[in-house]
C-alpha cells in the first residue's frame, strides 16, 4: 500500500481537521486563546469547503488505502454536519445565556476540549474512507481515544470520573476483540486491503474458500461485537446508562451519535466484502452473508426490546435517553440484516428465478428495491438529528431554579436538569424549547409525518420485502424478516410510551421550580438548527433519502439500475 499526492488530496478534509486541532491546542497553550469552540467550528467549516461534491454514480477513487465513493462521501458529510451541531452544543456554556452572570467565557480548558473533538471528527471521517484494515483500526482508535479525553475533561466530579473510566475500560475490551477479528480477516485474505480480502472471500477455489469458512464465525463474531460496542447494542450496551448519567449533555449527545456512525460504517464495509456482481460468489461469501444477517437480525430484535423495556423503568432523563439510544441501535441493525439477506438471496436464486438476466448478471432492480443500507443510513440521519436536538435543548435549559432555605445566606449550588419531573410545565416558562423537545421526541417515537416516521417506515418496508417473491423454499428467511418487522413496530409503540411521558410533563403538569435556561445561546442555536432541519425533512424527506440511497448503493461498488427509456 503506497501513498501519493492523490492520497493526500483524497483526505484533505481530514487533514484540515487535524491542522485545526493543532492550531487550537497551540493557540490555547501559547496565545492564551479561550474560545476554542469557535476555532473548532471554523475548522469544521474549512473541512467542509475541502470536501467537494459527491463522486459520480458508480465511480470510486482509491489510493493508498483510501476509498472515496458515494458511501464514504455520505459518511464524511454526515460527520461534518453532525460535528458542527455538536460543537455548538458543547460550547453552549461559554457565552452569555438567557440568564447570565456576566459576558465572556466562564471557564478555561475549552481549547483542549475543542482540539480533541476535532481529532475525533478526523478519526470518524477516516473510518468512512478507509479501504484498509490498518487505516480502519487507526480511524476507530482516533474516535475512541479522544472520547476518553472528552469524558475526563468535561467533568471532574466523582460521577464524571466514573463515567470516563467505565467507557475507557469497556472500550479497551471492545477494541481488543475487534482487532482479533481484523486478524482473522487478514488470515482469510492474506492482505490488509479490503478489496483483496473481498476477492479471496468470494473465491470459488476450494482451498481458499475452505480456509475462509473455518475462520468466518470467529472473525464475524468478534467484528460484530466490536461494532456493537460503538452502537451500544446488546451484548455491549450495559455501559450506556451510567456513562450518559455521569457526563455532560454535550458529551451524551456525542456518545449517542458519532460512535454509532462508526459502527454502521464497520458493518457496511464487512457486508461489502461478500457482495459480488454475479451469483457465482463462492461458498465462503454465502456463509459470510448468511451468518451476518442472522447475527444482525437477532441482535436487532433483542437490542430494540431490551432498550425500550429499560427506558420504561427510568425516571432519570439521561438514563432514559441512554436506553432509548440502545433501542435505536436495534433499529439501525434491521437495515444491515436486510442488506445482508438480500445479497445472500442473490447468490442462492437459480437462473430464471427473478434475480438474473439472460447473461447471468444480477437484476439489480430487485436488489436495490430492498434498500436495506439505504433505510439504515436514512434512519441514522434522522435519529442523529433528533438526538442532538434533544441534548442541545437540555444543554440550553441548563439548571433548575435554586431553592432558597431562608432570606439570607449563600446561594445554593446549581442543580442540573436530571429527571423527567424537572421539565414539568416547561411549555409555560419556555415554550420554544418545549416545542422543539416535543418535535424531537415525537420524531424519535416515529410519529408521522416527522423524519423518524419515514425512517422506521423504510426499515419495516425493507424487512417485509426480503424474499417476498422468492420460491417457497426460502420461506424461513422470509418469515424471520416478517417477524423482525413486527418486533420493530411493537417496539415503536412501546417507545411512544416513555417519549409521551416527557411531553406530558412539559405540557400537562404545573411548574414546580422551573429552569434557568442558562446553558448558553450556542446550545440554543443548535437546538433551533436541528428543529428547522427536522421540519424540512418532515415535509420533504426526498433529499435525504436520495443521498442515503446513493450511499447505500455505492457501499458494494454497484450502481442503481438504469432508468427505462420509452
Tell me the pLDDT tens digit for each residue of 437-458: 999 999 999 999 999 999 999 9
pLDDT score recorded for residue 155:
67
Instruction: Kindly state whether residue 566 falls inside one of the protein's structural domains.
Output: no
pLDDT tier, 507 (very low <50, low <70, confident <90, very high otherwise)? very high
User: What domain count does the chain have?
Assistant: 1
**So what's the pLDDT on residue 501?**
94
pLDDT, position 280: 59
| 562, part of any domain | no
Question: What distance in Å separates the CA atoms of residue 552 and residue 550, rounded to the nearest whole number?
Answer: 5
Neighbours of 109 (CB within 10 A): 13
* Distance separating alpha carbons of residues 385 and 82, to the nearest angstrom: 8
- For 361, phi then psi, to 5°, come to -75, 160
Choice between 91 and 171, residue whose per-residue pLDDT is larger: 171
Strands 415-416 and 66-68: unpaired
Say if residue 235 is preceded by a cis peptide, omega within 30 of 0.
Answer: yes
Residue 34 has pLDDT above 90, yes or no: no
Band the pLDDT of 470: cuts 50, 70, 90: low
Of 275 and 291, more confident: 291
User: Residue 240 sits in which domain range?
Assistant: 5-401+416-554
pLDDT at 298 (0 to 100): 95
pLDDT of residue 371: 75
Beta strands in 11-129 (DSSP E): 61-63, 66-68
Hunting for cell 405540557 — which residue is that?
A: 507
pLDDT at 386: 96
For residue 400, report the phi and psi dihedrals to the nearest 5 degrees.
-80, 155
8 A C-beta contact, residue 75 and residue 128: yes
Task: State which of 92-96, 99-103, 519-523 shows the largest mean pLDDT.
Answer: 519-523
pTM of the model: 0.90
User: What is the residue-wise DSSP string for 231-290?
Assistant: HT-TTS-TTHHHHHHHS-HHHHHHHHHHHHHHHHHHHHHHHHTT--SBS---HHHHHHHH
Residue 242: inside a domain, yes or no? yes
Domain-located, residue 406:
no
Q: Report if residue 67 sits inside a domain.
A: yes
CA dihedral 295, 457, 74, 91 (to 10 degrees): -100
Q: Tell whether 321 is covered by a domain.
A: yes
Residue 430 forms part of a structural domain? yes
pLDDT for the residue 128: 92
Say if 490 falls within a structural domain.
yes
Reported confidence tier of residue 92, pLDDT bands at 50, 70, 90 = low
> Phi and psi dihedrals of 356, rounded to 5?
-125, 150
Residue (of 222, 219, 390, 372) closest to 300 by Cα position: 372
Which residue has better confidence, 155 or 237? 237
Has residue 104 got a pLDDT over 60? Answer: no
Least confident span in 134-138, 224-228, 246-250 = 246-250
Confidence band (pLDDT; 50, 70, 90) for 164?
A: confident
Amino acid at each position: 500500500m503506497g501513498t501519493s499526492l492523490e492520497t493526500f488530496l483524497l483526505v484533505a478534509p481530514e487533514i484540515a481537521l487535524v491542522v485545526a486541532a493543532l492550531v487550537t491546542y497551540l493557540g490555547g497553550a501559547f496565545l492564551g486563546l479561550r474560545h476554542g469552540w469557535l476555532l473548532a467550528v471554523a475548522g469544521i467549516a474549512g473541512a467542509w469547503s475541502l470536501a467537494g461534491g459527491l463522486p459520480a454514480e458508480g465511480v470510486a477513487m482509491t489510493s493508498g488505502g483510501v476509498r472515496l465513493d458515494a458511501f464514504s462521501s455520505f459518511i464524511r458529510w454526515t460527520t461534518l454536519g453532525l460535528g458542527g451541531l455538536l460543537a455548538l452544543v458543547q460550547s453552549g456554556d461559554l457565552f452569555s445565556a438567557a440568564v447570565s452572570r456576566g459576558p465572556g467565557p466562564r471557564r478555561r480548558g475549552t481549547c483542549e476540549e475543542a482540539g480533541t473533538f476535532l481529532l475525533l471528527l478526523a478519526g470518524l471521517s477516516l473510518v468512512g474512507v478507509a479501504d484498509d484494515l490498518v487505516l480502519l483500526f487507526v480511524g476507530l482508535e482516533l474516535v475512541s481515544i479522544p472520547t476518553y479525553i472528552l469524558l475526563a475533561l468535561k467533568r471532574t466530579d466523582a460521577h464524571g470520573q466514573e463515567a470516563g473510566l467505565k467507557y475507557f475500560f469497556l472500550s479497551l475490551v471492545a477494541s481488543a476483540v475487534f482487532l482479533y477479528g481484523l486478524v482473522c480477516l487478514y488470515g482469510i485474505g492474506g492482505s490488509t486491503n479490503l478489496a483483496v480480502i473481498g476477492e479471496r472471500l468470494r473465491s470459488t477455489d476450494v482451498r481458499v474458500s475452505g480456509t475462509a469458512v473455518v475462520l468466518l464465525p470467529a472473525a464475524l463474531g468478534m467484528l460484530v461485537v466490536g461494532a456493537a460496542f460503538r452502537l451500544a447494542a446488546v451484548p455491549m450496551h450495559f455501559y450506556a446508562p451510567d456513562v450518559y448519567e455521569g457526563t455532560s449533555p454535550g458529551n451524551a449527545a456525542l456518545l449517542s451519535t458519532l460512535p454509532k456512525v462508526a459502527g454502521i460504517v464497520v458493518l457496511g464495509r464487512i457486508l461489502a466484502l461478500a457482495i459480488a456482481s454475479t451469483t457465482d460468489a463462492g461458498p465462503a461469501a454465502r456463509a459470510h452473508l448468511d451468518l451476518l444477517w442472522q447475527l444482525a437480525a437477532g441482535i436487532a430484535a433483542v437490542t430494540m426490546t431490551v432498550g425500550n423495556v429499560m427506558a420504561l423503568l427510568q425516571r432519570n432523563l439521561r438514563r432514559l435517553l441512554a436506553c432509548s439510544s440502545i433501542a435505536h441501535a436495534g433499529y439501525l441493525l434491521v437495515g444491515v440484516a436486510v442488506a445482508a439477506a438480500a445479497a445472500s438471496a442473490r447468490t442462492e436464486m437459480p437462473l430464471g428465478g427473478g434475480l438474473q438476466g439472460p447473461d447471468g448478471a444480477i437484476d439489480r432492480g430487485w436488489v436495490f428495491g430492498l434498500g436495506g443500507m439505504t433505510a439504515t443510513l436514512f434512519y441514522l440521519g434522522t435519529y442523529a438529528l433528533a438526538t442532538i436536538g434533544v441534548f442541545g435543548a437540555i444543554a440550553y435549559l441548563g439548571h433548575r431554579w435554586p431553592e432558597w432555605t431562608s432570606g439570607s445566606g449563600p446561594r445554593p449550588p446549581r442543580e442540573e436538569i436530571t429527571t423527567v419531573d424537572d421539565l414539568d410545565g416547561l411549555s409555560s416558562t419556555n415554550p420554544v424549547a418545549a416545542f422543539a423537545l416535543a418535535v424531537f421526541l415525537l420524531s424519535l417515537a416515529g410519529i408521522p409525518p416527522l423524519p423518524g416516521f419515514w425512517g422506521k417506515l423504510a426499515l419495516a418496508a425493507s424487512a417485509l420485502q426480503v424474499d417476498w417473491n422468492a420460491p417457497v423454499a426460502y420461506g424461513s428467511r422470509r418469515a424471520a424478516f416478517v417477524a423482525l418487522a413486527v418486533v420493530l413496530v411493537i417496539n415503536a409503540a412501546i417507545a411512544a410510551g416513555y417519549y409521551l411521558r416527557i411531553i406530558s410533563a412539559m405540557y400537562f403538569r404545573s411548574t414546580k421550580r422551573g429552569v434557568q435556561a442558562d446553558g448558553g445561546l450556542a446550545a440554543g442555536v443548535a437546538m433551533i438548527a436541528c428543529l428547522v432541519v427536522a421540519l424540512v425533512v418532515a415535509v420533504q424527506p426526498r433529499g435525504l433519502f436520495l443521498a442515503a440511497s446513493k450511499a447505500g448503493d455505492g457501499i458494494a461498488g454497484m450502481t442503481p439500475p438504469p432508468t427505462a427509456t420509452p
